[in-house]
Structures are given as structure tokens and as C-alpha cells.
Amino acid sequence: MKSTKFIVADADKCIGCKICEVACHAAHDNLNYTVGAQYSAITPRLHVMQVNGKYVPVQCRQCEDAPCANACAIGAITEVDGKIIINEKTCIGCKACLVACPFGAIDLRPQIHNGEVVTQPRLKTLQDADENKSVLVAYKCDLCAENETQACVAACPENALRVYNALDDSKAKALQSALALHAI
């Protein structure tokens, strides 16, 4: 059976430098090269966590029975080419997918359209009556859907990240065990 791929990290290799997070931001939201030319905050789709003194990035598993998709009332989450994709244009920011995701892989951030933050036409913020509230939408790892390679995987200086493909992986492991059996 063909299953979705996802990005998996090796906690023994990760040094916690967060380059993967920066690369994720650069791949999705940024056209400029330098830190001074960043016009939005770094909003990565994976997060380097520290537990028991060790670092490891966590990100979306592209679940088969995706709880986020099941929770979305408006059907903004679909599978496209083996990737679970949030349609940031139709998302209404209800946060049901954030609640449903067991890995904390989904977050909210301002919706951007043509490089501009999208605001709500009628909803004003109380603190500042003249400002329209910006629209927040759910976002998560899309396996760099627009590109051939995955930015985080390419950027990691320790090769701690890889794209896990269940079928290839089990084939490779089966081959290893066959070789081991031959050796006996």
C-alpha cells in the first residue's frame, strides 16, 4: 500500500541549532536572503524541542487517518499527492485541527496574500479601534509541496533529518535481514 511520506528526525544527531526552522521559514515565506531584509517573523513549520537535555525537531506526520482533516468543519484539509495540505485561503482559523493534532504540529499565523497581511474587513481590535484584526490561519509542514527537495532536510548540518517513506524503508530493512540470513 502506498502511504504518505513524512519527515523524521534522528534525536541522536540533532544539535539544536534550529537551522531547519530558519530554512523552513525561508522556503515558505521569504524572498530575501539576509536577516535585515526579513519583513515577517520566522514562522517555521517544525519546532526543535528540548527534552531531557537532548534536542529534536517535531513536525507533522502526514497521518493516514489525519485527525486534523477529520476535525476540520469546512473541509480545508485534504490529501494532495500524498501530503496532507491545509488550504490557507479557505481556513477560518477555528483551531479544531490544532486541538485534534496529537503532535502539536499545527500552529496559527497571519494569513499572507501577495506579501501583505490579510485583515478582516469588519472585525476591529478593541485595543485599537482603527485597526482591522489580521486573519490568523492554521499552517503546518507541507513537505515543501512547491519544491522537489525539503528545505529542512537540505539545511541540516548534521544530516539529522530525512524523508521517511514506509514502503522504501521496509523494503530496505527486509533486504538487510535477507542478507543477514544468507550470512548464517
Partner 1 sequence: MSHNLIHIDKDICTGCRRCVDVCPVDAIHGQSGTPHEINLDTCVACGQCVQVCSSYLSEFESTPTIYAEKLAKRGMLSSVHEPLFAAYAQCHTHEVKDALANKNLFTFVQCAPSVRVAIGEEFGMPLGVLTPGKLAAALRRLGFDRVYDTNFGADITIMEEGSELLHRLTSGEGKLPMFTSCCPAWVKYIEQDYPDLLEHLSSCKSPMGMAAPVFKTIGAEIDNVDPAKIYSVAVMPCTCKHFEAARPEMNASGYQDTDVVITTRELAQLIKDAGIDFVNLPEEEFDQPFGEYSGAGAIFGVTGGVMEAALRTGYELLTKEQIPQLDLEFVRGDNGLRTADVALGDMTVKIAVVAGLDSAAKVLESVKAGTCEYDFVEIMTCPEGCMTGGGQPKLLLDGHRKLAFNQRRAALYSHDKDLPVRKSHENPSIKKLYGDYLGEPFGHHAHDLLHTTYTPRKVK
Residue ranges that bind partner 1, judged by CB under 8 A: 15-19, 21-23, 25-26, 30-38, 41-43, 47-48, 50, 53-55, 154-155, 157
Element (H, E) at 174: helix 166-183
Q: Minimum Å distance from CB 51 to partner 1?
A: 11
Nearer to partner 1 (CB atom), residue 66 or residue 160 = 160
Nearer to partner 1 (CB atom), residue 35 or residue 179 = 35
Q: Minimum Å distance from CB 43 to partner 1?
A: 7
Q: In this structure, are residues 20 and 161 in contact, taking their beta carbons and an 8 Å threshold? A: yes
* 3-class DSSP state of 154: helix
Nearer to partner 1 (CB atom), residue 36 or residue 75 = 36
User: Which cell numbers hold the place of 62?
Assistant: 502526514
Nearer to partner 1 (CB atom), residue 53 or residue 121 = 53
Q: Minimum Å distance from CB 146 to partner 1?
A: 17
Beta-bridge partner residues of 113: 116
Q: Minimum Å distance from CB 60 to partner 1?
A: 17
Residue 95 region by backbone torsions, left for phi larger than 0, else alpha for psi between -120 and 50, else beta = left
Q: In this structure, are residues 115 and 125 in contact, taking their beta carbons and an 8 Å threshold? A: no
Nearer to partner 1 (CB atom), residue 136 or residue 166 = 136
Q: What is the DSSP letter of 75?
A: -
Q: Minimum Å distance from CB 10 to partner 1?
A: 15
Which of these, 43, 20, 61, lies nearest to 161 by C-alpha position? 20
User: Which cell numbers hold the place of 171?
Assistant: 523494503
Q: In this structure, are residues 60 and 84 in contact, taking their beta carbons and an 8 Å threshold? A: yes
